[in-house]
Chains A and B, each alone.
Chain A
Amino acid sequence: MSRFVIVTATVLGLALGAVGSAQAADAKQVYDFYCAQCHGVNGDGKGINVTKDFATDPRNFTVAADMEKRSDEDIRGVIKDGGPSISKSPLMPPWGSTLTAAEVDGLLAYIRKLCNCKAK
Chain B
Amino acid sequence: MRLLAVTVSLGTALLVMTATPGYAAGGDAIFKKSCASCHYTDGPAKEKTIADQLAKKGPELWYAGSKFKKDWLVAWLQNPKPIRSLKYNSLTEANKGDHPKQSAGDAAATADFLMGLTSPEVKAGVIAAKASPQAKAIFGKKMPCGGCHEYSEKGEVRGGKSGPSLVGASKRLNPDWVYAYLANIKVFKPVRDMPDFASVLNPKDLEGVAAYVATFE
Query: Is the beta-carbon distance between B195 and A53 smaller than 8 angstroms?
Result: no
Most buried by B among A29, A48, A96: A48
- The count of residues in chain A whose C-beta lies closer than 8 Å to any C-beta of chain B is 26
Query: Is the beta-carbon distance between A37 and B162 smaller than 8 angstroms?
Result: yes
Interface residues of B in 148-166 (CB under 8 A from A): 148, 158-162
Cβ–Cβ < 8 Å partners of A33 in chain B: 50, 53-54, 193
Give Cα distance in the complex from A34 to B199, angstroms: 17
Query: Is the beta-carbon distance between A90 and B91 smaller than 8 angstroms?
Result: no
Cβ–Cβ < 8 Å partners of A82 in chain B: 200
Query: Is the beta-carbon distance between A94 and B162 smaller than 8 angstroms?
Result: no
Cβ–Cβ < 8 Å partners of B144 in chain A: 55, 90-91
Query: Is the beta-carbon distance between B50 and A30 smaller than 8 angstroms?
Result: yes
Cβ–Cβ < 8 Å partners of A54 in chain B: 147, 160
Interface residues of A in 72-103 (CB under 8 A from B): 82, 90-91, 93-98
Whose C-beta in chain A lies nearest to the C-beta of B91? A48
Cβ–Cβ < 8 Å partners of B86 in chain A: 48
Identify A97's interface contact among B53, B91, B141, B196, CB under 8 A: B196
Min Cβ gap A19→B in Å is 18
Cβ–Cβ < 8 Å partners of A95 in chain B: 195
Cβ–Cβ < 8 Å partners of B142 in chain A: 90
A23 within 8 A of B: no
Identify B160's interface contact among A30, A49, A98, CB under 8 A: A49
Give Cα distance in the complex from A18 to B50, angstroms: 21
B92 within 8 A of A: yes
Contact with A along B160-190 (1 / 0, CB 8 A): 1110000000000000000000000000000
- The count of residues in chain B whose C-beta lies closer than 8 Å to any C-beta of chain A is 25
Cβ–Cβ < 8 Å partners of B54 in chain A: 33
A8 within 8 A of B: no
B146 within 8 A of A: yes
Query: Is the beta-carbon distance between B193 and A49 smaller than 8 angstroms?
Result: no
Cβ–Cβ < 8 Å partners of A93 in chain B: 143, 147, 195, 197
Cβ–Cβ < 8 Å partners of A32 in chain B: 91
Query: Is the beta-carbon distance between A48 and B146 smaller than 8 angstroms?
Result: no
Query: Is the beta-carbon distance between B91 and A34 smaller than 8 angstroms?
Result: no
Cβ–Cβ < 8 Å partners of B148 in chain A: 37-38, 49
Identify B158's interface contact among A36, A47, A53, A91, CB under 8 A: A53
Give Cα distance in the complex from A55 to B145, angstroms: 12
Min Cβ gap B181→A in Å is 14
Min Cβ gap B102→A in Å is 30
21 contacts between A and B (CB under 8 A): A33-B54, A37-B148, A47-B162, A48-B91, A48-B92, A49-B160, A50-B160, A53-B158, A54-B160, A82-B200, A90-B141, A90-B143, A91-B144, A91-B147, A93-B195, A93-B197, A95-B195, A97-B195, A97-B196, A97-B199, A98-B195
